Amino acid sequence: MPPLGKQWIAGETEVGKAGRFHAANPLTREPIDSETSEADGSQVARAASAAANAFEGYRKVAPKQRAVFLRTIAANIEALGETLIERADLETALGVDRLRGERARTTGQLKLFADLIEEGSWVDARIDHADPNRKPMPKPDVRRMLIPIGPVAVFAASNFPLAFSVPGGDTASALAAGCPVVVKAHPAHPGTSELVAGAITQSVRQFDLPAGVFSLVHGTNNATSISLVQDEHIAAVAFTGSLRGGRALFDAAAARPKPIPVFAEMGSVNPVFILPGALAERKESLAQGLKQSITAGVGQFCTKPGVVVGLAGDPFTKLSESLSQLLQTVPAGALLHGSILEAYARGSDQLGAIKGVGVHRAAGQPNRATPTLFTTDGAKFLNHAALREELFGPSSVLVEASDVQQMLKIARAMDGHLTATVHGTEADIAANAELIDILQQRVGRVIINGYPTGVEVCSAMNHGGPYPATTDARSTSVGTAAIERFVRPICLQGFPTTALPPELQDANPRNIWRLVDNRRTKDSI
Amino acid sequence: MPPLGKQWIAGETEVGKAGRFHAANPLTREPIDSETSEADGSQVARAASAAANAFEGYRKVAPKQRAVFLRTIAANIEALGETLIERADLETALGVDRLRGERARTTGQLKLFADLIEEGSWVDARIDHADPNRKPMPKPDVRRMLIPIGPVAVFAASNFPLAFSVPGGDTASALAAGCPVVVKAHPAHPGTSELVAGAITQSVRQFDLPAGVFSLVHGTNNATSISLVQDEHIAAVAFTGSLRGGRALFDAAAARPKPIPVFAEMGSVNPVFILPGALAERKESLAQGLKQSITAGVGQFCTKPGVVVGLAGDPFTKLSESLSQLLQTVPAGALLHGSILEAYARGSDQLGAIKGVGVHRAAGQPNRATPTLFTTDGAKFLNHAALREELFGPSSVLVEASDVQQMLKIARAMDGHLTATVHGTEADIAANAELIDILQQRVGRVIINGYPTGVEVCSAMNHGGPYPATTDARSTSVGTAAIERFVRPICLQGFPTTALPPELQDANPRNIWRLVDNRRTKDSI
């Protein structure tokens, strides 16, 4: 294990000049061995400036070479072996099995984006040929494709130390698009961040790419983050974390002399609606599935089902009892860091204090989050906004709706979320089209007869949703479409073939799908 | 001609409660016949609320029916005949020929979007099938497509009273996407706006659509505009106009409790670079073309070439002389409204006052803008930011660069613009790849051997660019891709066929191009 505690700025390790902090062991809340140094404003500015310089060269690197670069990052992360897993477990207490799975997902994402840019059609190339004889004006030759937007600032999440962190989907999609990346590491897992940053830097060196293609800075204060977002060289921001944090970055970006887009994935309650047919058919498997989804990762998934709604009656009461009992069999777990643990305790107390809210949980343990089921009825749920807000950790609010109308009212009262889930038989689904329609208006993904946790990384995935789930409902942070955040169209009019990029040449040397004179084709012209 | 002066709110005309104003005849600067009433806050709120109500129904209208609706709007605008042209000419003084051409472009845009949504592939449908046997976790069935984002506020431009105004590209693309529209009319052509609003309202009635699908409000004060942008029912904003106006709307939208996207197309200088080979070959045709492009629409195009750069030497001096003489043969013209005229006079004085800037123009006339060529050298151009800023009206700044290095420096000093143009022989283009590369980084469209005015409406067009050309470089306001501003992805996981929209059903009843298990195909599955 190399000595840790440093930034990686444009290929070199550097001691941060702003101060030092200790990450804590989530199991003991004791400081972890080594200190981490924090970047100061000048170091952040240097990373951003190096990214801007690197952009000049990196954006011209051919997609096939960028693809090999991404695969090399994956290989270099794998080559860190158990050193990485052990460090990540020390800093997150998520367990080595989960972390090995997350590593596979992370390297899988890098390879997915490599495949995407190697295939190449994602640039949405469009060609409209000239018509010199058109009246009243000749028609010009007009061609268009997507090009990288510039250096991207990535703010790593605490809850996925790999897959939504330094080498996660934001970094993978930005690098795939042709954008250099400056990552602000999450202070809960600085060692993990640094190890991976070393693996990425090594890949940059292997391909002799401009060193500023990748930098990592540490920081615990907001000023560091704001200075990165407001740096003139940064062209876009990706963030995964809290509503407060995401909104602060959004506001800082909007206040710039030249505003830039912020793709912040923030909180989500992920409501689940249980319809009567499903409840009658499979109460026990529903209780099992919900327990699993609520407590996976100690409830620290953005897509954790935080609210479960069903219709009043004996079957729902039984589901409530089963789920309550099952949750009490799940051991209390360590949360990622102290402030999450404190927020979980505070939020749980707040919900429990609402008159008419039942609290079901086993006895607590120090420094651990106890799985908790809160129960209430539809009227109280509608009256208390706190019940509809995200509580990070292994808990959920079970809501007994008096009838279908109240269930619809609850669905309409929902704010913007990443997901909503409906459990129902075929007849349930057919009879509740309105519910499903309402939910589609409020979330980025609707799941039928599944669970929102375990987000599939694929072309059709959307991990986003209306505010406050994200700051930009038009974007996803998971799946191949995530690359669309970091590009913009360029239109080339009247260009001779020799001045056109391969993607827009008549001969179609990249063999990509294009829209040619409004016809979709892979043909050369 | 019906009596004018009213709002059209959700299908009915209404007298505005906030006050009254007169539009002025640009030729005489005298008030035009009728008074126009301005909407107050309650009327704006009612229009936005009606749009939100209408969204529930309108978003479910099948694309083929929406296409017929758009074509009917085009037909109803055409049916207004010369009444519309005469009114538009009275309010803008752009001339009946230009206005007939603009009407054709406007109805053409509506038909283009009708064709786009009828064909249907623009929704970017993606299907990833399930794999229940995948290890370690089964793979779910995941499908995704684009859906309308909600009611759109459109702020009409002064310089295109039809094509970038009430029935323009913003309205056409929003309605095509499935979004209701509330238009804030430009106060310089309220009668034109109202006539067209009547034609759109008539189309809404013919199809028995929810009345709130379209509303038009008048207003001359910023508070009306801000109240529309900050109305909770509005989901996105489109704007064409000044940097100050666009930025104010952007700031208001970013400050909302729930921020919304603002697609503001603002100023642009549209630099033109003349390379030596082209200058040697076709000085005279260049001077003619530049004269035409600088003075078209009395220089009131967003894409007017406001800066022309060439290399010092005899050929460039001759171009300067020819262009200067040609511009003096173009009669002074009426500008759209008093504040543009005043800004043109003020801006011209400011540029003329810079030491070493030559001013070439014929004698002026009251209430008219005189075509003007400003001449300067590269060093002064780089030293005076005012020379690099947009001046709306029939003028341009001709810059003599000392050498190629200074030309590149000038290109690098350029801010974000809609377009940049390069004139050169094949050898020039090959020898100046760096110049073209720099320009691509700063604009939304690069033109070789053409002129930036006369924006082609087609699939490959991009009318956008880095800030301050727009507030979102990832978007275009012209061409079919303009529809992408008003949609967001929705992901449907585990849905039975009966609950899926046609675009995502295996059988592909809409016969659209889709990405199915990462393969692009029109096949049913």
Pairing of strands B181-184, B519-521: unpaired
Per-residue pLDDT of chain B (525 residues; tens, 9 = 90+): 556 899 999 999 999 999 999 999 999 999 998 899 999 999 999 999 999 999 999 999 999 999 999 999 999 999 999 999 999 999 999 999 999 999 999 999 999 999 999 999 999 999 999 999 998 889 999 999 999 999 999 999 999 999 999 999 999 999 999 999 999 999 999 999 999 999 999 999 999 999 999 999 999 999 999 999 999 999 999 999 999 999 999 999 999 999 999 999 998 999 999 999 999 999 999 999 999 999 999 999 999 999 999 999 999 999 999 999 999 999 999 999 999 999 999 999 999 999 999 999 999 999 999 999 999 999 999 999 999 999 999 999 999 999 999 999 999 999 999 999 999 999 999 999 999 999 999 999 999 999 999 999 999 999 999 999 999 999 999 999 999 999 999 999 999 999 999 999 999 999 999 999 999 999 998
Could you say which of B14, B265, B400, B503 is catalytic? B265
What chain B residue is nearest to A254 in terms of C-alpha separation? B254
**Taking CB atoms and an 8 Å cutoff, what residues of chain A touch B263?**
none
Q: CA distances (Å), B297 to each of A438, B290, B450, in order?
A: 47, 13, 18
The distance from CA B520 to its chain's CA centroid, rounded to whole angstroms, is 32
**Taking CB atoms and an 8 Å cutoff, what residues of chain A touch B250?**
254, 259
d(CA B202, CA B391) in angstroms, rounded, equals: 39
Nearest CA to CA, how far is A254 from chain B (Å)?
7
**Taking CB atoms and an 8 Å cutoff, what residues of chain B touch A514?**
none
C-alpha dihedral sign at A453, A455, A461, A463: positive
Cis peptide preceding A366, ω within 30 of 0: no
d(CA B300, CA B369) in angstroms, rounded, equals: 11
**Residue B504 one-letter amino acid:** L
SS3 content of chain A, % helix, strand, coil (to 5): 45, 20, 40
Contact state of A456 with B139 under an 8 Å Cβ cutoff: yes
H/E stretch holding A345 reads: helix A338-352
Interface test with A, best of B250, B491, B523 (most A CBs within 10 A): B491
Contact state of A144 with B460 under an 8 Å Cβ cutoff: yes
The answer to whether B446 touches B236, Cβ cutoff 8 Å, is no
d(CA B39, CA B190) in angstroms, rounded, equals: 12
Residue A144 makes CB contacts below 8 A (sequence gap 6+) with A124, A125, A126, A489, A490, A491, A492, A504, B459, B460, B461, B462, B481
**Taking CB atoms and an 8 Å cutoff, what residues of chain A touch B147?**
440
Interface test with B, best of A128, A491, A518 (most B CBs within 10 A): A491
The answer to whether B147 touches B177, Cβ cutoff 8 Å, is no
SS3 content of chain B, % helix, strand, coil (to 5): 45, 20, 40
Contact state of A491 with B462 under an 8 Å Cβ cutoff: yes
Contact state of A128 with B460 under an 8 Å Cβ cutoff: yes
H/E stretch holding A515 reads: strand A514-516
Interface test with B, best of A493, A500, A514 (most B CBs within 10 A): A493
- Helices B41-58 and B222-229: crossing angle in degrees, nearest 10, is 30
What chain B residue is nearest to A520 in terms of C-alpha separation? B513
Contact state of A448 with B495 under an 8 Å Cβ cutoff: yes
Cis peptide preceding A468, ω within 30 of 0: yes
Of A436, A459, A462, the CB nearest to B515: A459
C-alpha triplet A483, B413, A152: angle, nearest 5°: 20
The answer to whether A489 touches B463, Cβ cutoff 8 Å, is no
Residue A208 burial class via C-beta count within 10 angstroms: exposed 0-12, middle 13-18, buried 19 and up: exposed
What chain A residue is nearest to B468 in terms of C-alpha separation? A258
At residue B496, the 3 state secondary structure works out as coil
d(CA B472, CA B482) in angstroms, rounded, equals: 12
The answer to whether B25 touches B17, Cβ cutoff 8 Å, is no
Residue A513 makes CB contacts below 8 A (sequence gap 6+) with A121, A125, A520, A521, A522, B520
Number of residues written out for chain A: 525
Four-point Cα dihedral B270, B274, B278, B284, nearest 10: 80
Residue B431 burial class via C-beta count within 10 angstroms: exposed 0-12, middle 13-18, buried 19 and up: middle
Residues of A designated as active site: 265, 302
- Among A291, A163, A224, A180, which Cα is nearest to A7's? A224
What chain A residue is nearest to B496 in terms of C-alpha separation? A426
- The reported pLDDT for the residue numbered A4 is 84
Give residue B367's region: left, alpha or beta (phi > 0; psi -120 to 50). Answer: left
ipTM over 0.85: yes
The answer to whether A73 touches A195, Cβ cutoff 8 Å, is no
Of A149, A251, A445, the CB nearest to B493: A445
Contact state of B474 with A139 under an 8 Å Cβ cutoff: no
Place of tokens 């067209």: B196
**Taking CB atoms and an 8 Å cutoff, what residues of chain B touch A429?**
496, 498-499
Listing DSSP states for B178-247 in one string gives T--EEEE--TTSHHHHHHHHHHHHHHHHHTT--GGGEEEE---SHHHHHHHHT-TT--EEEEES-HHHHH
Residue A289 makes CB contacts below 8 A (sequence gap 6+) with A451
d(CA A143, CA B433) in angstroms, rounded, equals: 18
Contact state of B493 with A450 under an 8 Å Cβ cutoff: yes
Four-point Cα dihedral A450, A452, A456, A457, nearest 10: 160
- The reported pLDDT for the residue numbered B136 is 86
- The reported pLDDT for the residue numbered A2 is 56
Of A254, A430, A491, the CB nearest to B460: A491
H/E stretch holding B423 reads: strand B417-423
Contact state of A513 with B520 under an 8 Å Cβ cutoff: yes
CA atoms within 13 A on the CB side of A276: 13
Could you say which of B102, B302, B400, B503 is catalytic? B302
- Among B348, B50, B350, B364, which Cα is nearest to B213's? B50
Four-point Cα dihedral B28, B30, B34, B39, nearest 10: 110
Contact state of A456 with B143 under an 8 Å Cβ cutoff: no
Nearest CA to CA, how far is B62 from chain A (Å)?
15
d(CA A391, CA A340) in angstroms, rounded, equals: 9
Residues of chain A falling short of pLDDT 70: 1-3
Beta bridge pairs of residue A522: none
What chain B residue is nearest to A250 in terms of C-alpha separation? B254
H/E stretch holding B262 reads: strand B262-265
* B332, two tokens: 């002074």
Pairing of strands B519-521, B514-516: antiparallel
The answer to whether B322 touches B291, Cβ cutoff 8 Å, is no
Give residue B150's region: left, alpha or beta (phi > 0; psi -120 to 50). Answer: left
Nearest CA to CA, how far is B399 from chain A (Å)?
23
**Taking CB atoms and an 8 Å cutoff, what residues of chain B touch A259?**
250, 254, 467, 471
Contact state of A462 with B489 under an 8 Å Cβ cutoff: yes
What chain B residue is nearest to A488 in terms of C-alpha separation? B474
**Taking CB atoms and an 8 Å cutoff, what residues of chain B touch A461?**
128, 142, 144, 491
At residue A471, the 3 state secondary structure works out as coil
H/E stretch holding B44 reads: helix B41-58
**Taking CB atoms and an 8 Å cutoff, what residues of chain B touch A477?**
none
- The reported pLDDT for the residue numbered A33 is 81
- The reported pLDDT for the residue numbered B1 is 55
**Taking CB atoms and an 8 Å cutoff, what residues of chain B touch A446?**
490-493, 495
Helices (H) and strands (E) in chain B, counts: 15, 21
d(CA B103, CA B85) in angstroms, rounded, equals: 8
d(CA A411, CA A416) in angstroms, rounded, equals: 11
Residues of A329-368 as b/e, b for ≥16 C-beta within 10 angstroms?
Answer: ebebbbbbbeebbebbeebbeebeebeebebbbeeeeeeb
Listing DSSP states for B284-342 in one string gives HHHHHHHHHHHHGGGG--TT---EEEEESSHHHHHHHHHHHHHHHHSPPB--SSHHHHH
Nearest CA to CA, how far is A34 from chain B (Å)?
35
Mark out the alpha helices in A417-507 (DSSP H runs): 426-431, 433-442
C-alpha dihedral sign at A251, A256, A258, A262: negative
- The reported pLDDT for the residue numbered B3 is 60
